[in-house]
Amino acid sequence: MDYYQFTAEDFAVDDYFKEWVLTPTPRSEAFWREFLAEYPERYYQVEEARRLVEGLGTIHQDVLSATQVNHVWTRIEGTLASIERESPGRWLSKQQFWQLAASVALLLALGWMLRSYRPTNEPGLASYPSKQQHEWIDTVNEAEKTMLLKLSDGSRIQLSKHSRLKYPKDFTGSTREVYLTGEAFFDIQKNPKKPFLVYTNGLITKVLGTSFQVQAPLYSPNVTVSVKSGRVSVYADKSNPTQDPEAEGVVLTPNQKAVFQRPEATISKSLVEKPILLIPKSQKNLFAFEDASAHHVFESLEKAYGIDVVFDEELLRNCSLTVNLTEEDLYQKLKVICKVLGAEYKVIDGQVIIYSKGC
């Protein structure tokens, strides 16, 4: 059975799939776990189908009214009568006619229930490229150290242990697309005419040329994207006929990260755990302040780490600092600065917000 080609509806009417959802066994659990491990890009189809099957199991028997049933049968009988007049007795016996009618009625009823059940706020299905369009390379890092991969466009990927990457031997078409399960660091060759897209368990990371880290464990509810250089667009892998899915995502710059919560299909933006300096090490003396204004101090942080620091300039206009923060990391710097100024800080949506009553 070529489950890779299945839509959510195909999965929902498959007997083996339904048995797994409703009455799972160790054997079926192992089969579908292995399927998702091999084809992580089918996560949303499988998840939507699972919810469809669970929902159909709770639908009352009277979901189709008597009037609706009669209407369906009238249409089927009319169609069959027309076929019989055109080709009497040539291809179906009377018994076969009614067997066909029963099958059609069942399919129509199931289709109606599926359409009725489909939640309006469920993530849509992405249009994945057909496996036949490219010669795919499927690499699994089973070693205990990072594996270095070089793609046909010159991009380099450090694939972490126990992680998996699917990518085409040669990139054709208008985009470069790969599928990741696990963790990898991407250093992407710039090509503004051909964006690079990473599919990871319901999240799409889109870049033109940059370096970033993706953490997407198969059974984790979250996917995390952290940017080292350049700009990255991340958005939920769902179709929306009225709006570009990318418009609902977030844009990340160096030292920012996005966390995608798969169950809710929501994205939050913050700073990475250990922001790095974006300036040459020779300029670290920027943080040796002597009677420096608060504005100058925060401006130095913005320049060095590529972040936005939001504060009330009027309140802090008369504040100054004399301190050497050359060896401290960003969060230590912020802690010391806020202590001297009698302020507090919070990281909100990838920005540092300073709260102060003034000096």
- Report pLDDT digits (tens) over 67-108: 555 555 565 556 555 555 555 554 555 445 545 555 554 555
Q: Does any domain span residue 22?
A: yes
Averaged pLDDT in 10-residue chunks for the chain of 359 residues: 79 86 82 79 78 65 52 57 53 51 51 45 36 73 94 96 92 91 95 92 89 89 93 84 76 94 87 92 81 93 94 90 92 94 92 89
Q: pTM for the complete prediction?
A: 0.63
Let me know whether 294 and 321 are in one domain. Answer: yes
**Domains in the chain, number:** 4
Q: Report the distance separating Cα 17 and Cα 192, nearest Å.
A: 42
Q: Which of 228, 250, 271 is the last residue of a domain?
A: 271
Q: Does any domain span residue 125?
A: no
Q: Does any domain span residue 337?
A: yes
Let me know whether 206 and 286 are in one domain. Answer: no
Q: Does any domain span residue 122?
A: no
Let me know whether 287 and 343 are in one domain. Answer: yes
Let me know whether 251 and 135 are in one domain. Answer: yes
Q: Which of 247, 271, 295 is the last residue of a domain?
A: 271
Handedness of CA 240, 21, 215, 188 (dihedral sign): negative
Q: Does any domain span residue 97?
A: yes
Q: Give per-residue pLDDT as tens, 129-139.
A: 444 456 889 99
Residue 178, classed as helix, strand or coil, is strand
> How many beta carbons lie within 10 A of that of residue 65, not counting itself?
9
Let me know whether 41 and 168 are in one domain. Answer: no
Q: DSSP letter string over 298-317? A: HHHHHHHHT-EEE--TTTTT
Tokens of 253: 């710059």
Let me know whether 140 and 158 are in one domain. Answer: yes
Q: Which of 13, 37, 58 is the last residue of a domain?
A: 58
Residue 268, classed as helix, strand or coil, is strand
Q: Does any domain span residue 95?
A: yes
Let me know whether 90 and 165 are in one domain. Answer: no
Let me know whether 185 and 314 are in one domain. Answer: no
Look-up of token digits 């040459």: 280
Residues in the chain: 359
DSSP state of 244: -
> What CATH number is attached to the domain comprising 301?
3.55.50.30
Answer yes or no: are the C-beta atoms of 208 and 190 closer than 8 Å. yes
Let me know whether 297 and 322 are in one domain. Answer: yes
DSSP state of 134: S
Q: Report the distance separating Cα 347 and Cα 353, nearest Å.
A: 6
Q: Does any domain span residue 276?
A: no
Query: What is the per-residue pLDDT for 241?
Result: 57
Q: Which residues contact 295 (CB under 8 A, 6 or more apart)?
A: 313, 316, 317
- 24-30 — which CB contacts under 8 Å span 24+ positions? none
**Residue 324 lies in domain:** 281-355
Let me know whether 76 and 197 are in one domain. Answer: no
Q: Does any domain span residue 320?
A: yes
> What CATH number is attached to the domain comprising 199?
2.60.120.1440
Handedness of CA 112, 114, 119, 122 (dihedral sign): negative
Tokens of 74: 């009238």
Let me know whether 83 and 207 are in one domain. Answer: no
Let me know whether 224 and 140 are in one domain. Answer: yes
Residue 3 phi, psi dihedral angles, 5° rounding: -65, -20
